[in-house]
């Protein structure tokens, strides 16, 4: 048994909130630079240039890359040999969010009820997904999610007979409908299989995988490559002003499913695809 005090978790979470919102990840920067070189539209090229300058300004002035600093989404891997001391893990994560969003001057974007919509003013509650794993480590992945892109996500319970062509069609339709709304060039997370909620969580988690690293299953890797080419033929382009860079990447995860079904969830993310992680 290894003990971790919740105060350590509060501190780590608070820092992750600030870092993910201020500093563009290297894998994303590389893809933006590549897109900028390849972009066919002069206006699109200029948009991509401005996004890179924006990331530089944000890092230098230590301010948010985007004003929508998101709902705070966490993926936690908790080793089964870890003993947590000093309070609840849930509360520690929420306290970390409270502190990080306050001291980082990040926007508080959470309302306490979907109908009555009063701002909670501290960006809590966070959305927390837990996995219990072997070992004595605690891994925290943080991915703030803006809703310009979240709103363009979709889930569909396809039929087994729809096959892989049905999945491709659903992905292309979803990206096309999203158009300029999710701040292209986008990153697309896809979850195929499992149950309804499993597909959605896989799609979200797929966005954590660094761009350029493909799924280890051969046909899924090929699907990722093919879909990226197809998406970039649509023509939406940077900021939706038209062009050849509509997506920076697409990550797909799969899971066993029921004999009667083929759930597919698509989680759309913006060009900043913010994430940060820490292991205790």
Dihedral of alpha carbons 11, 139, 223, 36, sign: positive
Residue with Cβ nearer another protein (10 or 64): 64
Nearest distance from C-beta of residue 69 to another protein, angstroms: 7
C-beta closer to another protein: residue 92 or 276: 276
Nearer to another protein, 114 or 256 (CB): 114
Burial of 279 (0-12, 13-18, 19+ CB in 10 A): exposed
- For another protein, the closer of residues 31 and 214 by Cβ is 31
Q: Among 196, 194, 201, 189, which residue's Cα sits nearest to residue 131?
A: 201
User: What is the distance between the alpha carbons of residues 206 and 236, in angstroms, rounded to a whole number?
Assistant: 23
Stretch that binds another protein, among 9-17, 70-78, 181-189, 220-228 (CB under 8 A): 181-189
Instruction: Centre a 10 Å sphere on the Cβ of residue 34 and count the other Cβ atoms it contains.
Output: 15
46 contacts another protein (rule: CB under 8 A): yes
**Is residue 97 at the binding interface for another protein, with CB under 8 A as the rule?**
no
* CB closer to another protein, 61 vs 83: 61
What is 154-184 written as a DSSP string? EEEEE-GGGHHHHHHHHHHHHHHHHTTTT-S
Positions 197 through 216 that interact with another protein (CB under 8 A): none
Q: Does 164 bind another protein (CB under 8 A)?
A: no
Buried b (16+ CB within 10 A) or exposed e, 195-207: eeebbbbbbbbbb
Measured CA to CA, the distance from residue 247 to residue 214 in angstroms comes to: 15
Site residues for another protein, 217-236, by CB under 8 A, read: 233-236
Least distance to another protein from the beta carbon of 112, Å?
Answer: 13
Q: What backbone torsions phi and psi does residue 274 show, to the nearest 5 degrees?
A: -75, 135
* Window 98-117: residues binding another protein (CB under 8 A): 105-109, 117
- Is 73 or 239 the residue whose CB approaches another protein more closely? 239
Compute and round to an integer the Cα radius of gyration of the chain. Answer: 19
**Residue of the chain from 42, 113, 114, 134 that contacts another protein (CB under 8 A):** 42
Written as six digits, the tokens of 43 are 């206006």
- The answer to whether 147 and 68 have CB atoms below 8 angstroms apart is yes
Three-class SS of residue 193? strand
Q: Which of 70, 100, 144, 237 binds another protein (CB under 8 A)?
A: 237
Alpha helices in 104-162 (DSSP H): 147-150
Should residue 248 be labelled a site residue for another protein when binding is judged by CB under 8 A? no
CB of 73 or CB of 186, closer to another protein: 186
- Interaction site with another protein (CB under 8 A): 40-44, 46-47, 50-51, 53-54, 57-58, 61, 63-69, 105-109, 117, 119, 121, 147-148, 151, 179-183, 233-237, 239-244, 270-272
């Amino acid at each position: 048994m290894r003990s971790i005090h919740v105060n350590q978790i509060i501190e780590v979470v608070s820092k992750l909130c600030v870092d993910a919102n201020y500093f563009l990840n290297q894998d994303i920067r590389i893809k933006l630079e590549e897109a900028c070189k390849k972009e066919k539209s002069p206006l699109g090229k200029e948009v991509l240039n401005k996004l890179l300058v924006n990331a530089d300004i944000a890092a230098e002035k230590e301010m948010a890359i985007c004003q929508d600093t998101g709902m705070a989404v966490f993926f936690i891997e908790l080793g089964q040999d870890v003993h947590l001391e000093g309070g609840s893990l849930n509360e520690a994560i929420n306290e970390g969010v409270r502190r990080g969003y306050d001291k980082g001057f990040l926007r508080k974007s959470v309302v306490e009820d979907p109908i009555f919509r009063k701002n909670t003013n501290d960006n809590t509650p966070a959305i927390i997904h837990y996995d219990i794993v072997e070992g004595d480590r605690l891994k925290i992945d943080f991915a703030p999610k803006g809703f310009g892109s979240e709103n363009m996500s979709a889930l569909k319970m396809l039929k087994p007979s729809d096959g892989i062509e049905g999945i491709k069609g659903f992905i292309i339709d979803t990206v096309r409908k999203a158009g300029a709304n999710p701040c292209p060039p986008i990153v697309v997370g896809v979850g195929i299989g499992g149950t309804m909620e499993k597909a959605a969580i896989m799609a979200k988690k797929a966005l954590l995988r660094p761009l350029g690293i493909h799924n280890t299953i051969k046909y899924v890797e090929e699907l990722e490559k093919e879909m990226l080419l197809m998406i970039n033929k649509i023509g939406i382009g940077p900021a939706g002003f038209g062009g050849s860079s509509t997506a920076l990447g697409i990550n797909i995860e799969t899971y066993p499913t029921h004999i009667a079904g083929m759930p597919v969830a698509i989680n759309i993310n913006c060009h900043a695809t913010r994430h940060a992680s820490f292991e205790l």
